[in-house]
Each structure stands twice: as structure tokens, then as C-alpha cells.
Amino acid sequence: MVRNEDLENVLLLKKGDISAFSALFGKYSERLYAFALSIAREPYIAEEITQQVFLKIWEKRHQIEEYFSFKSFLFSVTYSETISLLRKETAEKKKVNRWGEVASFETTETDYTVEFNNLELLTSEIIAGLPARRREIFILSREQGYSYREIADKLGLSVKTVENQISATLKTIREKLGESQLCSILFYFLTTH
């Protein structure tokens, strides 16, 4: 049985269901905060970004494409919001030095979205090229939300085997993506459980 709590919650969210919104907020707010913090490096900015993202999600809930990965969508919106806020902060305070190491301000938000989508596509291609069993374990974990224990029970494996397979897959993806700081940041947050 394929579990997709995000899809169920997104469908309810589109109908204005506040409990579905709360469930998505509870599931993703800390991870989005950590993601924004890893880019902005200021807790108050990360907190503001997290609030803005969820406010935007609520306000534009009718426009959400429910059959796309909600998780990827959230991180893409968070990334764009972080860039926008950093641009504003930089214009107001002229603090280019810290952010200049991470990204160029000449790049448009559309370029960031394209870069994010390219990274997601590359990751998908890497996963598609994995041995069948390893790919199945990874998909059950990262895309379908199964715990290591649930995967082990479902496939008749030990939990340690599942852990080793996930670890090997993450290592393969990291190696193939390269050492780019942006790739590392995005990859970490796309694949953390």
C-alpha cells in the first residue's frame, strides 16, 4: 500500500482544511527553518522565511499542483523567498559580503527554480540507475515515507541492511552531484528523513 500523506493533506488544504495545513506545517516547518538558516545564516531571517512560506502556502493553496512533490515545492519556495529577502536586506544594509560566497545576486528567481529543478532531475536519474533492490528501498524510504523498520518488514530484510542500502545510495548521489555547496545543501534537505 502506497502511503502519501502529503497528497491527502494537500488535497484537504486546497479545500481550506486548517488541520491539513497544521499537519504540513508540523511536518516541514523545522526542516524549512534549518534550510533557510543554512543559506541566510541568521536565525531571525530563517524564522521570517519559514513564516512567509507557510503564509504564502495558505494564501495560494488553490494554486498548488497536488500531484507534484509537495516537499520539493516547499523547498523551492523557501529557496526563492530566502533569496528575495537577502536581496532586500543587502539593498538596505549593503551586506553583500556574507551572501556573495553562496550565490550571485545577478541570478533571477527563475534561474534558481531552473537550477533546483535540474538538481532534482539529476537526482532522479541517479536513483533510476541504481540496482533494483537499492532503488526500491530508497523510494520506499524517501518518496513513500516508510521507516527503516517498515521497509525491513515489507522486504524481509534486516533493519541494518536497509540502513546500509540507504547510506550507500546517499553516498552515490553525493558523489555524482559533486561538491557544489548549493548541491550539497539542496541534496541534504531533499533527502533527510
pLDDT at 8 over 50: yes
Do 5 and 160 touch, CB atoms closer than 8 A? no
Give the mean pLDDT of 27-38. Answer: 89
| CATH class, range 108-193 | mainly alpha
Task: Select from 69, 64, 54 the least CA-distant residue to 14.
Answer: 64
**In the chain, domain spans:** 1-106, 108-193
pLDDT top residue among 110 and 88 = 88
Give the mean pLDDT of 19-36. Answer: 91
Architecture in CATH for domain 1-106: Orthogonal Bundle (1.10)
Q: Please write the tens of the pLDDT for every residue from 148-173.
A: 898 999 999 999 999 898 888 878 87
pTM of the model: 0.49
Do 47 and 33 touch, CB atoms closer than 8 A? yes
Give the mean pLDDT of 12-24. Answer: 93
